[in-house]
Structure 1
Amino acid sequence: MQRNVLETIMGAVVLIAAAAFLYVIYSGSGIKEDRGGYSLTVRFDRGGSVLPGTDVRISGVKVGAVTSQDFDPKMFQAVVKLNIRSDVELPKDSSAIITSDGLLGNYYIKLEPGAEDDLLKDGDQVAHAQGALDLVELINKFVVGGSDTKKEESATP
Structure 2
Amino acid sequence: MSTYNLTEILVGGVVLAGAVAFGVYASQSTGFSQNRTGYELGASFRSLEGVGVGTDVRLAGVKIGTVTNVSLNPDTYRADTNFSVAEGVLIPDDSAIIISSEGLLGGNFVEVMPGGSPFYFEAGDEIEDTQGAVSLISLLVKFVAGDDSE
Structure-1-length-normalised TM-score: 0.86
* Mapped pair 1:76 → 2:67: no
- Using the aligned pairs only, state the percent identity: 36
Deviations 1:3-31 (A, max 9, x none): 22222122111111111111111101223
Which structure has the highest helix share of the two?
A: 1
- Please state whether the residue corresponding to 1:15 is helix, strand or coil: helix
Partners of 2:68 and 2:82 within 8 A in 1: yes
1:33 deviation in Å? 3.9
| Whole-Å separation in 1 of the counterparts to 2:146 and 2:21 | 51
Task: Note the residue ranges of structure 1 that are not aligned, 5 or more in a row.
Answer: 150-157
Higher CA-based Rg? 1
- Please state whether the residue corresponding to 2:105 is helix, strand or coil: coil
CA RMSD of aligned residues (A): 1.6
Partner of 2:130: 129
Aligned length: 148
* Cα distance change of structure 1 residues 46 and 94 upon mapping to structure 2, 3 Å threshold: same
Where does 1:100-119 land on structure 2 (aligned, <5 Å)?
A: 100-119=101-120
Deviates more, 1:51-60 or 1:98-107: 98-107
* Mapped pair 1:20 → 2:25: no
| Whole-Å separation in 2 of the counterparts to 1:115 and 1:61 | 19
- Please state whether the residue corresponding to 2:9 is helix, strand or coil: helix
1:79 deviation in Å? 1.0
| Whole-Å separation in 2 of the counterparts to 1:48 and 1:34 | 26
* Cα distance change of structure 1 residues 32 and 7 upon mapping to structure 2, 3 Å threshold: closer
